[in-house]
Amino acid sequence: MSDLVLKQLAPKGRLRAAINLSNFLLVTGKEANGDPQGVSPDMAKALANELGVDLELIPFNRPGELADAISEDVWDIGNIANEPERAKSITFSSPYVLIESTYMVRNSLNINSIKDVDKEGIRIAVAERSAYDLWLTSNIKNAVLKRAKSINESFTIFEDNKYEVLAGLRPKLVDDLKKTENCNILPEAFTFINQCIGSKPGNVEAETYINNFIKNSIENGFVKKLLLKYEVLGKLSVPK
């Protein structure tokens, strides 16, 4: 590892890793000292260990807030989903896990496939500025997106306003299905969320280093071990 990589990834002498707390699959609890616990923090820890520097975890309540903070120099890496709008200001690594996004729909609509959702008169509840909201914003042409502040609130507005469709991560929708009636989850995915490590643009050596770290972590089984450790294997998948 070159001094340039350390300068690019840990300019303050430690690795400042931004963590998105709203991703319930990747942040599943708290350590005794209050730090977030889960797959995402453990990936940051492993990268810091490989660099030979201390780790500082910097939590954000929502992914949009994490992405916005790239301009404030408060983090060196950000564990966040890759999305074209975010990629305008953040350099993303290859993904280390994949998450399926799909729809919950009301049975009365007779919607049986993804392509049937984007129609006039359909209202889709979604967590604002989530990776799948950004995908829907670019791809939905006829239905109307109804945004909530968080993933949990998107289910609330779906129920309270009797919206036709709820967009979300499949594992969360499976849980939400138990809390409502006369709904079903479509078998297809409208997109797959690529969970990546983001870094500051222009640092080519750092980008290469992170991608090699992720490649090795997948090939040596480290990522799968984390999914088993936090009991999210099957809800999250390892890229092939």
> 36 in a domain, yes or no?
yes
Question: Is residue 239 assigned to a domain?
Answer: no
The pLDDT assigned to 170 comes to 93
Give pLDDT, residue 131: 87
Same domain, 23 and 88: yes
Core vs surface per residue 8-43: b (16+ CB within 10 A) or e = bbbeeeebbbbbbbbbbbbbbeeeeeeebbbbbbbb
Distance CA 81, CA 95 (A): 8
- The reported pTM is 0.81
- For residue 128, tell me if it sits in a domain: yes
Q: What was the pLDDT predicted at 1?
A: 65
Pairing of strands 29-30, 36-37: antiparallel
Query: Which pair of structure tokens corresponds to residue 90?
Result: 């953040």
My answer on whether 124 and 198 are in the same domain is no
pLDDT, tens digit (0-9, with 9 covering 90-100), for 85-116: 899 999 999 999 999 999 999 999 989 999 99
Question: Is the same domain home to 107 and 181?
Answer: yes
Measured distance CA(182)–CA(125) in Å, rounded: 17
Strand pairing category for 183-185 and 97-106: antiparallel
- Contacts of residue 238, defined as CB under 8 A and 6 or more positions apart, other chains included, come to 96, 97, 98, 218, 223, 224, 227
Q: How far apart (Å, rounded) are the C-alpha atoms in residues 130 and 67? A: 11
Is residue 21 a contact partner of residue 224, using CB atoms and an 8 Å limit?
A: no
Total structural domains in the chain?
Answer: 2
The two tokens of residue 129 are 């500025």
User: Is 219 found in the same domain as 140?
Assistant: no
**pLDDT value of position 240:** 84
Do 198 and 224 reside in the same domain of the chain? yes
Report residues of the chain scoring pLDDT below 70: 1
Identify the CA nearest to 131 among candidates 182, 180, 59, 79: 79
- How far, in Å, CA of 202 to CA of 204, rounded? 6
Residues 73 and 63: their CA atoms lie apart, in Å, by: 16
- Give pLDDT, residue 36: 96
CA distance 7 to 171: 39
Q: Are both 131 and 206 inside the same structural domain?
A: no
**Contacting residues for 135 by C-beta, under 8 A, at least 6 apart:** 83, 101, 190, 191
pLDDT value at residue 26: 95
Range of the domain at 75: 3-97+194-229
Contact 96, 197 (CB under 8 A): yes
